[in-house]
């Protein structure tokens, strides 16, 4: 049974006057009309829409009645606000669908099939980590360069650019760091010499 337009208008006036129970009385009276409005909006959408008319009505109701600014001049004003809320929801949904997923255009790769920049036995990797921690205390820039080159696979020139130093400086730092780390790793692994 369709509610009388004046009944809806009276409740809208009560909502506008600040009656806290009026909004609760309004939804049952306008639900079917909002549902028809939502179905009409959904019919205009391209196929494959994941949003359903019922969800659209509920979301629009939350935006219109839950905004705390319920001052509608008339029944038409209320339904205009509901239609605008539905339009915004559909636009936001379309924008969300067009956004790249987490990772953008990157493709998933199986970790077991990926060649790491630093394949080495675990004991050597642990020794290198300990030596790198020591190098960080002695020369933080050299340690950063090693991390960029050894663990991420950057060239000295690329790492130098990332660090804001010249290629020549990066190459000198790399030479120092390699010699320093080689000595420390040998100590960590208890190799003679």
Do 120 and 170 sit in the same domain of this protein? yes
Do 94 and 133 sit in the same domain of this protein? no
Q: What's the total number of domains in the chain? A: 2
**Count of all residues that appear for the chain in the document:** 193
Domain termination residue (choose one: 48, 63, 98): 98
pLDDT of residue 29 exceeding 80, the answer is: no
Do 148 and 87 sit in the same domain of this protein? no
Do 85 and 16 sit in the same domain of this protein? yes
Q: Which of 28-37, 93-102, 143-152, 153-162 has the lowest mean pLDDT?
A: 93-102
For residue 180, what are the contacts with CB-CB under 8 A and spacing of at least 6? 131, 135, 138, 139, 142
Please measure the distance between the N-terminal and C-terminal CA atoms of the chain and give it in whole angstroms: 95
Do 9 and 87 sit in the same domain of this protein? yes
- Say how far apart CA 88 and CA 108 lie, in whole Å: 33
pLDDT of residue 113 exceeding 60, the answer is: no
- CATH number assigned to the domain comprising residue 89: 1.10.1740
- Say how far apart CA 141 and CA 177 lie, in whole Å: 10
Rg of the chain in Å (alpha carbons): 33
Do 73 and 152 sit in the same domain of this protein? no
User: Would you state the structure tokens that stand for residue 79, as one six-digit string?
Assistant: 């339904």
Percent of the chain topping pLDDT 70: 70
Q: Which domain holds residue 152?
A: 113-188
- Say how far apart CA 63 and CA 52 lie, in whole Å: 17
Do 89 and 132 sit in the same domain of this protein? no
Domain termination residue (choose one: 70, 98, 126): 98
Average pLDDT over residues 26-35: 76
Is position 25 within any domain? yes
- Say how far apart CA 158 and CA 167 lie, in whole Å: 8
Q: Which of 53-57, 153-157, 184-188 has the lowest mean pLDDT?
A: 53-57
pLDDT digits (tens, 9 = 90+) for 114-128: 454 545 566 777 788
Is position 107 within any domain? no
User: Would you state the structure tokens that stand for residue 119, as one six-digit string?
Assistant: 């394949």
Which residue reads 């020369």 in tokens? Answer: 139
pLDDT digits (tens, 9 = 90+) for 138-168: 999 999 898 888 776 788 898 888 889 999 9
Domain termination residue (choose one: 68, 98, 128): 98
- CATH number assigned to the domain comprising residue 164: 1.10.10.10
Which residue reads 């009505």 in tokens? Answer: 57
Q: Which of 21-30, 138-147, 165-174 has the lowest mean pLDDT?
A: 21-30
pLDDT of residue 99 exceeding 60, the answer is: yes
Residue bearing the bigger pLDDT, 98 or 52? 52
Instruction: Give the model's pLDDT for residue 119.
Output: 54
Instruction: Give the model's pLDDT for residue 130.
Output: 85
Which residue reads 């009944």 in tokens? Answer: 7
pTM over 0.85: no
Is position 169 within any domain? yes
């Amino acid at each position: 049974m369709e509610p009388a337009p004046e009944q809806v208008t009276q409740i809208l006036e009560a909502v506008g006057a600040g009656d806290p129970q009026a909004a609760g009385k309004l939804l049952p009276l306008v639900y079917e009309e909002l549902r028809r409005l939502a179905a009409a909006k959904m019919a205009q959408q391209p196929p494959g829409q994941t949003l359903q008319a019922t969800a659209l009505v509920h979301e629009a109701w939350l935006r219109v009645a839950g905004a705390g600014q319920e001052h509608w001049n008339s029944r038409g004003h209320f339904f205009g606000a509901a239609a605008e809320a539905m339009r915004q929801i559909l636009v936001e949904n379309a924008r969300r669908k067009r956004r790249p997923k987490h990772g953008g255009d990157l493709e998933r790769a199986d970790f077991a099939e990926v060649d790491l920049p630093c394949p080495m036995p675990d004991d050597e990797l642990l020794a290198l980590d300990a030596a790198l921690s020591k190098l960080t205390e002695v020369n933080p820039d050299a340690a950063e360069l090693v991390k960029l080159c050894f663990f991420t696979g950057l060239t000295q020139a690329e790492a130098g650019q990332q660090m804001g130093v010249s290629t020549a400086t990066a190459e000198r730092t790399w030479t120092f760091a390699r010699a320093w780390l080689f000595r420390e790793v040998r100590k960590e692994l208890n190799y003679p010499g």
